[in-house]
Amino acid sequence: MYFLSEVERKYMIYKLLPLAREAGVSPELRGWNWHQAPLKPYYEDVRLPMYAVSSKYCPSGRDVYLAFVEGVRPVPNFKVALGKVLHGVVSDYLLAFMDGRILDFNDWCRDVRWGEIPARREAVEPIAEKVWGYMAKMCEARYAEVEARQPYASRRDLIASAVPFLVEHRISGELLGLSGILSLDCYDYLRSIMFDLKVGAAQQDWHRLAPVGYALVFESLHEVPVDICCVVYLNYSDGRITVKKDLFFAGDEFRNWWIEERDAKLEIAAEGRDPGMPGDGCPEDCIYRYACHG
């Protein structure tokens, strides 16, 4: 899922990295400057999860007010259920592969708490199996490619080169006004790329906010620059899965945008301010729609 194709690799090497070196990132927008403006959070006693800060699903941000001020519980739909299951498929397969374990799909299914998934199992499981098969082919192909180039390397070294990912890596976002228990979808530690996985979604500019936010958090903790981010779109249609990547330079524009969103969402939560419903209408599948429209 997070492997770059040859075209994507060339795009990063010959387009994005030169752009990052030429344009650079303003020092005050590096995560390690979390203790000063503009990164220093104005509200020190309020913490929000990354999904609340980086989501523009509700254009006015009323979902943040409902969830963190009114305590309204969302009503998950099929899209949410599919996203939860496929995130699990991708991360669990990768973690098992990196541990050198062969994890069978049926065994994985037996450990899923289907009762907590807000969708019929028979509607979700075939898609999950399709994605599982895709992950297996990609991991094995990449491992075989690296093994052929380095026949004397240990299995540990081969995996570190073939699958150089931190998956579901737990980090704290507290320095930037976020939850202390964040989980990265994936960070490629050889190429320094921050990934975020979207399931069943059409490409949107604001989807870039989440990986940029994670890049800032990563910089705040480890003090290493993360200049390249990527949103991975995993979709399923007519029995086939498609994977599309949006690779981009996490420059000043996106970092400032993320800070503006964080500050606006923190203000809603801290001040208890209801921003009202969006003037352009609500998404039909909003998980808080019932709270706004009854």
Nearest to 143 by CA among 130, 129, 128, 156: 156
Q: What is the rounded CA–CA span in Å between residue 96 and residue 99?
A: 5
Question: Which amino acid, one-letter code, is at 109?
Answer: C
**pLDDT on residue 280:** 76
pLDDT above 90 (res 181) = yes
**pLDDT confidence band for 234 (50 / 70 / 90):** very high
| Residue 281: predicted pLDDT | 80
Confidence at residue 283, expressed as pLDDT on a 0 to 100 scale: 87
Mean pLDDT of 48-63: 94
**Quick one: average pLDDT of 17-32?**
97
Residue 38 one-letter amino acid: P
- State yes or no: pLDDT of 71 exceeds 90: yes
The mean pLDDT of 162-188, rounded to a whole number, is 96
pLDDT of residue 253: 97
Res 102: pLDDT:
85
| Mean pLDDT across 275-290 | 88
Average pLDDT over every residue of 81-97: 96
Q: What pLDDT, on a 0 to 100 scale, did the predictor assign at position 294?
A: 75
pLDDT level of residue 278 (50, 70, 90 thresholds): confident
> Rounded to whole angstroms, how far apart are CA atoms 22 and 47?
35
E strand residue ranges, the chain: 165-171, 182-188, 193-199, 228-237, 240-249
Distance CA(220)–CA(214), nearest Å, equals 10
**Helices (DSSP H) in 49-120: which residue ranges?**
50-54, 62-68, 78-98, 105-111
Distance CA 250, CA 16 (A): 10
Mean pLDDT, residues 114-139:
94
Residues 220-249, mean pLDDT to the nearest whole number = 96
The pLDDT value given to residue 132: 97
Find the mean pLDDT for residues 154-183.
95
pLDDT (mean) for 28-45 = 96
Question: What proportion of the chain, given as a percentage, has pLDDT over 90?
Answer: 88
Question: What's the chain's average pLDDT?
Answer: 95
pLDDT, position 279 = 80
Taking a C-beta distance cutoff of 8 angstroms, is the pair 226, 244 a contact?
Answer: no
pTM of the model: 0.95
The whole-number pLDDT of residue 44 equals 85
CA angle 107, 110, 115 (to 5 degrees): 155
Task: Output the pLDDT for position 293.
Answer: 87
